[in-house]
Amino acid sequence: MKSSVIKAQLLSKWYGEVIGLNSFNMDAGPGITGIVGPNGAGKSTLFKLIIGMIKPSKGSLDVLGMDPWLNKKLSSKIGFCPDYDNLPDDATGFEFLRLSGGLHGMSGTGLNSRIKEVSRTVGIDYALERKIGGYSKGMRQRIKIAGALLHDPELLLLDEPLSGADPRARRSLIDVIISLNRDSGHDILVSSHVLFEVERMTKDVVLIYKGRAVASGDIYGIRELMDEHPHNIIIEGKGMVELGKRLLELEHTVSVSFDGSKERLRVEVKRPDEFFDNVPEMLLESGGELREMYSQDDNLAAVFRYLVGR
Amino acid sequence: MDITAFVSLTIYKFRKILFNKRVLAALLVGVLVTGVMAYASTLDVVFRDGAILLDVLIISFFLPVVTMFYGSSVIRDEIEDMSITMVITSPMRRWAAYLSYYTALLLSLLLLLFMILTAGFLAFFIPLGLDSNALELYLNMLLLVSIGCVVYSALFLLASVVLERSIYFGLFYAFIWEGFIGSIPGRISEFALKHYIRSIGAGRMELMEFAAASGMTYSFQVLTVVTVVLLAVGIFIFRYKEFPG
């Protein structure tokens, strides 16, 4: 029988009249658990409750067997990578990690060697002497994860760690997250508004919508629902006309349209993971140049509406 | 663990306060004070005028204004850009974190105001001749600046935790309260902190004219109690504060 890493029962959080989380229930065991929901669903509120930045209005929350509110003993067992950018642009990656380690009571050569180890693990060791202000989005996510990992926490909280990263960085970050669990044994709670990205990391998911857990458990059942609702993907770059023509030939493409300009495609697909696997090759063939590619959460909202019966 | 965290956070914050665009404001104040003092020394002045000028320029005006400028943003900026997350989610206890912010603010203000005071002092007294009286005045002014930094830092740090627009409170307090209330003759001025700082100055130096001065020991006790209460309230509020972002 699995033991609970995070257990929430009828957990609610209100900000004045705004509901952040509403009678939320979850029971996450060891390993990687995905929290999936559209923007504004309550994912970040849940993370802030788990790390003890905010206090529950109602209900109970148990993290590693402890109440997180004002619990500093628990803080040393959790590493938190928030969804917002809280990095000091004027500091180097090394200085940032020195501060992170210092706040966890680490110092001296022990801290320096741990910084080297962790930065290698997340793939940011080559840029530690550079100012964070010059980092790409993917690098910023990596340094945040490194900061959260430095004190070797039992539980890692990664709130939208793939947000804003380009496709290659996303894939690489997913590999890092998987290895943090598989090779280093960290239990991980990771959130995303893109289901198929979470699917690449874990099969255990909790779907959150309007502050409630609307479904939890094995991802495959949820995936089937997902495939019934086309997925919106935006692609920006050069050669989009030719790429659009080729995309239309794919079986899982539902529709292709230009979104405001001829350098911005909106594609509706049924199987996003297959779609993402196909795009690089098609771009090469069509001679196109990719600037940005990201999925929107409209389809996820459709699944949630279905799940809550609206 | 708290000591290592305290030292790390204090050093980091100290650097962040000093190596920031805001330091230009302190440099401008330094240039202004030096210019005024240098110009004053060319006029028909006596030694006492230097003490009065330093009192008016630094103790009564720039001390509360500069501490307000830095103090009211030191934690508020981190709450607004959420960089405080790293501190709040670390095992460092919140009271230690609050005292660390206070220490960093205090040290940086002492450094900046000592530099401003020293520049102004030298600009006036080098032409008149530096002697033991001048040195005594300088040391007493350093003491008053230090006391002022201790108490004003506690006040504006508390404001930066409690108020979303702490800078407006700071502007009101530094310019209206300290500047206006603190200058009203009679007992009303006792509601301003600068009254007690200047009272200590008047108690230590005959040069510093302050007719309505309170007793030196009493003034010191008042400022100590105010500082301790402000820090205690700040720690209490910071300890239980939620950070929803």
- Nearest-CB residue to A84 (from B8, B16, B82): B82
Kindly calculate the radius of gyration of chain B based on its CA atoms and give it in whole angstroms: 19
Ordered by where they begin, the domains of chain A are: 6-224 (3.40.50.300), 227-308 (3.30.70.100)
- Nearest-CB residue to A82 (from B16, B85, B90): B85
Please check whether residue B186 touches A, CB under 8 A.
no
In this prediction, residue A189 carries a pLDDT of 96
What is the ipTM metric for this complex? 0.85
User: How would residue A303 be classed by pLDDT, with cut points 50, 70 and 90?
Assistant: low
In this prediction, residue A255 carries a pLDDT of 87
- The answer on pLDDT for A1 being more than 60 is no
Please check whether residue B90 touches A, CB under 8 A.
yes
Burial of A64 (0-12, 13-18, 19+ CB in 10 A): buried
Please check whether residue A66 touches B, CB under 8 A.
no
In this prediction, residue A279 carries a pLDDT of 83
| Residues A198-231 as b or e (16 or more Cβ within 10 Å = b) | bbbbbbbbbbbbebbbbbbeebeebbebbeebbb
Phi, psi of B83 (to 5 degrees): -70, -10
Percentage with pLDDT > 90 across chain A: 48
- Nearest-CB residue to B89 (from A51, A55, A98): A51
Per CB-CB distance under 8 Å, the chain A contacts of B7 are 102
Q: Tell which wins on pLDDT, B245 or B67.
A: B67
CB A152 within 8 A of CB A111: no
Please check whether residue A82 touches B, CB under 8 A.
yes
**Closest to A80 in 3D by CA, of A175, A162, A149:** A149
Please check whether residue A55 touches B, CB under 8 A.
yes
- The answer on pLDDT for A109 being more than 90 is yes
Inter-chain contact B239–A70, Cβ cutoff 8 Å?
yes
Inter-chain contact A72–B91, Cβ cutoff 8 Å?
yes
The mean of the pLDDT values for chain B is 91
Q: What is the rounded CA–CA span in Å between residue A295 and residue B47?
A: 74
Please check whether residue A234 touches B, CB under 8 A.
no
Per CB-CB distance under 8 Å, the chain A contacts of B244 are 15, 20, 45, 48, 53-54
- The answer on pLDDT for A297 being more than 60 is no
User: How would residue A298 be classed by pLDDT, with cut points 50, 70 and 90?
Assistant: low
One-letter amino acid of A152:
D
- The answer on pLDDT for B186 being more than 80 is no
- The answer on pLDDT for B150 being more than 90 is yes
Mean pLDDT of B207-223: 85
**Closest to B37 in 3D by CA, of B141, B110, B152:** B141
Mean pLDDT of B181-190: 80
In this prediction, residue A289 carries a pLDDT of 85
Taking the CA of residue B225 and the nearest CA in chain A, the distance in Å comes to 28
In this prediction, residue A301 carries a pLDDT of 61
- The answer on pLDDT for A307 being more than 70 is no
What is the reported pTM?
Answer: 0.84
Mean pLDDT of B129-154: 93
In this prediction, residue A216 carries a pLDDT of 85
Phi-psi region of A189 (alpha: psi -120 to 50; beta: other; left: phi over 0): beta
CA angle A175, B90, B106 (to 5 degrees): 135
User: How would residue A229 be classed by pLDDT, with cut points 50, 70 and 90?
Assistant: low
User: How would residue A45 be classed by pLDDT, with cut points 50, 70 and 90?
Assistant: very high
- The answer on pLDDT for A260 being more than 90 is no
- The answer on pLDDT for A130 being more than 80 is yes
For chain B, give the number of residues: 245
Mean pLDDT of A191-214: 88
> The tokens of B56 are what?
């008016």
Can you tell me whether residue A286 is helix, strand or coil? Answer: helix
Selected residue of A63, A103, A115, A157 to mutate for chain B interface (largest B Cβ count, 10 A): A103
Q: What is the rounded CA–CA span in Å between residue A146 and residue A123?
A: 9
In this prediction, residue A230 carries a pLDDT of 72
In this prediction, residue B187 carries a pLDDT of 79
Mean pLDDT of A251-274: 84
- The answer on pLDDT for A310 being more than 70 is no
In this prediction, residue A250 carries a pLDDT of 83
In this prediction, residue A302 carries a pLDDT of 64
Please write the tens of the pLDDT for every residue from B59-112: 989 999 999 999 999 999 999 988 999 999 999 999 999 999 999 999 999 999
Mean pLDDT of A207-235: 79
- Nearest-CB residue to B92 (from A70, A73, A103): A103
- How crowded is the C-beta side of A132, counted as CA atoms within 13 Å? 19
- The answer on pLDDT for B212 being more than 80 is no
> The tokens of A230 are what?
């086309």
Please write the tens of the pLDDT for every residue from B9-61: 999 999 999 988 888 999 999 999 999 999 998 888 777 788 889 999 999 89
Per CB-CB distance under 8 Å, the chain A contacts of B83 are 86-88
In this prediction, residue B112 carries a pLDDT of 96
Can you tell me whether residue B166 is helix, strand or coil? Answer: helix
Please write the tens of the pLDDT for every residue from A147-181: 999 999 999 999 999 887 777 788 888 998 999 99
Q: What is the rounded CA–CA span in Å between residue A32 and residue A30?
A: 7
Taking the CA of residue B217 and the nearest CA in chain A, the distance in Å comes to 39
